[in-house]
Amino acid sequence: MTPEQLAKSGSEHAHQVALFAWANMAARYGLFAANDCKCYTVKGLAEKCLHYYNDTIPELKLLFAIHNQGYGDTIRGANAKAEGVKTGVSDIMLPVTVFGGSHNTLLFAGLFIELKKPKVGKISDAQSDFAIKVEAQGYKVAFCYGWQNARDQLLNYLGR
C-alpha cells in the first residue's frame, strides 16, 4: 500500500504508519522510489529505481517511534508509567546529528517529531514543555500535521 492509502483514515496512527512506510522505502530503495506511488505496488520497480537513481537515505534506518500513547486501563497505565512512559514525549525520533556552519559545529543532536492529524491536532502543554526542554539540550523538535509534513521536516533536517 502507498503512504497515501495508509493515511486514508486520517487518524494519527495511520499517518505515522504512512510516514514509516515512506521512510523505509527511502532508506532501502531511495527517495525517487519512496515518492513514486507505483514503487509500492509494482513488483521490482523499486529495485530498478535504486539501480538507476541510487539515492537512498540510510539515516532513515535509525528513525523510530516512541510509545507514549494512551495507557488504556488502570493496570496498563501503571505498567506503562513503571516502564518509563512519559506524558508529552514526542512520537518519533531520528537520532542523527547535524553539523554545519563555517566551523562544522554541531547544529542539532537529533530530531524529535510530534505527529498530529492534519488540520485538527492540538499540541498539549506537556508536549510543548517537552519540546522546550529537549531543544535546550540541543535537539530539534518539529510539530507536524500529517505524514507529508513530517516527511518534509525529515528531508529538510537531513539537508535533502
**CATH number for the domain harbouring residue 123:** 3.40.1350.10
What is the number of other CB atoms lying within 10 angstroms of the CB of residue 132? 10
* pLDDT tens readout for residues 117-128: 988 889 999 999
Residue 99 confidence (pLDDT): 94
- Report how many domains make up the chain: 1
Rounded CA separation 146/116 (Å): 6
What does pTM read for this prediction?
0.92
| Domain of residue 113, residue span | 3-157
Distance CA 150, CA 111 (A): 11
Contacts 24+ apart (CB under 8 A), 118-125: 118/10, 118/15, 118/145, 118/146, 118/149, 119/145, 121/12, 121/145, 124/87, 124/88, 125/88
pLDDT for the residue numbered 72: 63
Per-residue pLDDT reduced to its tens digit, 108-118: 999 999 999 98
Average pLDDT, stretch 18-25? 98
Q: What is the pLDDT of residues 52-110, one digit of tens each?
A: 999 999 999 999 999 876 556 777 777 777 888 888 999 999 999 999 888 899 999 99
More confident residue, 130 or 73: 130
CA distances (Å), 42 to each of 3, 7, 10, 22, 75, in order?
14, 20, 25, 15, 45
Q: What is the mean pLDDT of residues 5-32?
A: 96
Which cell numbers hold the place of 36?
A: 513514486
SS3 15: helix
